[in-house]
Amino acid sequence: MTVFEARDGREALTRFAADKPDLIVLDIGMPEFDGLDVCREIRKTSDVPILFLSARDDEIDRVLGLEIGGDDYVTKPFSPRELVARVNVILRRIALRGQDARTSTAALSQGRLSVDPEQHVAEFAGAPLRLTAIEFGILRAFLTRPTFVFSREQIMGAAYQLNIQVSDRTIDSHIRNIRAKLSAVNCDNVIETIHGVGFKLGRCEPQA
């Protein structure tokens, strides 16, 4: 791997714009801008994978990091081998997603919601949705089987594609994030909760 370093949040944004990395390892506790602020800024223009590092192990910090667009979260102290392993998992997932897009490029749609795996583009009623890689994978899974009720474990498999374990709360955070982005373009009914089972695709039509 080729690694670029930044000393603070402001420099991180400058290096991101200049170097266009394939993945960002982002410490939450940075001067100038903290990692959460940097992530919010990057997510305005990019869905590059982001792995958070933090000395705080509070659940609210982990959930917040995922809800604003993080792909994974590692709590200090951690071993360098664990960090490298998690980075490799994310990079392999991106490679697999690219291979899958080349072998299955048909656009998927339901109601006014559409996903184009080849171009990695999602839209609702013509409005673009800026999704992270994991959010895109979840939405694509729903569109692939529009009447199927997905358990959290099945959503995990569809989104992460490799043998990686995340908590139910992590999946719920991703679902909330997708719903929020769809609500922002006038749709509040795309993902329905089936209590005691999981989630399924809804009507995918704009709100009246």
Residues in the chain where the model's pLDDT stays below 70: 57-63, 95-106, 160-168, 207-208
**What is the structure's pLDDT at 208?**
58
Q: Which fold has domain 105-208?
A: Arc Repressor Mutant, subunit A (1.10.10)
Q: Rounded to the nearest 5 degrees, what angle is found at the Cα of 148, between the Cα atoms of 71 and 201? A: 65
Domain boundaries, the chain: 1-103, 105-208
Instruction: For the chain, give the longest Cα–Cα distance.
Output: 52
- Write out the two tokens for 70: 């993080």
Beta bridge partners of 109: 114
User: For position 103, what pLDDT does the model report?
Assistant: 44
Q: What is the DSSP string of 15-46?
A: HHHHH--S-EEEESS-SSS-HHHHHHHHTTT-
73-132 pLDDT, tens digit each: 888 888 889 889 888 888 877 766 555 544 445 688 888 899 988 788 899 988 999 888
Count CA atoms within 13 Å of residue 100 on its CB side: 16
This prediction's pTM = 0.54
Model pLDDT, residue 170: 79
pLDDT of residue 179: 92
Instruction: Give the number of other CB atoms < 10 A from CB of residue 135.
Output: 21
Tell me how crowded residue 84 is: count the other CB atoms within 10 A of its CB.
Answer: 11
The residue with tokens 């590092």 is 53
Q: What is the pLDDT of residue 163?
A: 46
Task: Please tell us whether the domain made up of 1-103 is placed in CATH 3.20.20.70.
Answer: no
Helix boundaries (H) for the chain: 9-19, 35-42, 59-67, 80-103, 133-144, 152-160, 168-183
Quick check: 142 and 200 in contact, CB under 8 A? yes
pLDDT at 59: 60
